[in-house]
Amino acid sequence: MDEPNLQNLRRISRRDLIWMIPSAITAGFFGWLAWRTYSIHFTKTGVSEPVWREGPRVQAAVLNELDAHWRFKYFEYVYNGSPLKAVVFRLSEPVVGGLTVGEAHFLALSRICTHQGCVVNYVDNPELGSIAYNYRTDHPFMGCPCHFGAYEPLQGGKAVYGPPRFPLPRLRLEEENGVLYATGYETPFRPLEQD
Ligand code: FES
């Protein structure tokens, strides 16, 4: 039997590298794409009954300011002594962790993206939103300008598209004399707290 020729083996290895390296890069790219597609669509954490932590009592809005579905107001809450950007909406239906006053349904959310902490914004044009955020819906939602994560108020702030996995934390709402107050916040308060 012929001995393998080392010179030939080396030549074959070099020739093989010419297609092996691009193949490995291509396989890596498609693997990354599959993982990203999976994580964008299938690894979002659901929203359940919140566990509240007592916090300062801060005025979020006067009821008159939220006199129609999808009216919203930005306000500042306080987390650990620091100002925290937040939003309160009037919604068309009750959501878990929200507040119902008579026939009106409200929800308050932190505006700090649970991915990497950018400030999320109210996206009031679903048509434009579907282009920018690739999230198709017929109503406003919250969108993060950093990596185009989308959050759905009608699902209690659940992350529905993009890199964020966790929902926007909810703020506990109470109503008194026609005023909505935020009086606490959901734990863990992501991304500032983890489980
Ligand atoms: S920081 Fe919001 S999507 Fe990345």
pLDDT in tens, 51-109: 999 999 999 999 999 999 999 999 999 999 999 999 999 999 999 999 999 999 999 99
Distance 144 CA to ligand 1 centre (A): 6
Q: Which of 31-35, 92-96, 122-126, 131-135 has the lowest mean pLDDT?
A: 31-35
- As for how many domains the chain has, the answer is 1
Whether the model clears a pTM of 0.85, i.e. scores above it, the answer is no
Residue 8 falls inside a structural domain: no
User: For residue 193, what is the enclosing H or E element?
Assistant: none
Ligand 1, residues 116, 121, 133, 166: which to mutate, most atoms within 8 A of Cβ? 116
Tell me the residue range of the domain where 172 lies: 52-186
**pLDDT of the residue at 5:** 61
Residue 102 falls inside a structural domain: yes
Q: Ligand 1: which residues within 6 Å by Cβ?
A: 113, 115-116, 118, 144, 146-147, 149, 162-164
Separation of alpha carbons 58 and 78, rounded Å: 8
Residue 154 falls inside a structural domain: yes
Residue 5: both structure tokens together: 């020729």
Q: What is the CATH number of the domain that holds 160?
A: 2.102.10.10
Ligand 1, residues 118, 134, 166, 168: which to mutate, most atoms within 8 A of Cβ? 118
Burial class (CB in 10 A: 0-12, 13-18, 19+), 47: buried
Distance 73 CA to ligand 1 centre (A): 21
* Residue 189, pLDDT above cutoff 80: yes
Residue 54: both structure tokens together: 């007592």
Element counts in the chain: helices (H) and strands (E): 2, 11
Residue 40 falls inside a structural domain: no
SS3 string, 129-144, reads HHHHHCCCCCCCEEEC
pLDDT in tens, 11-41: 667 677 777 888 888 888 887 777 766 666 6
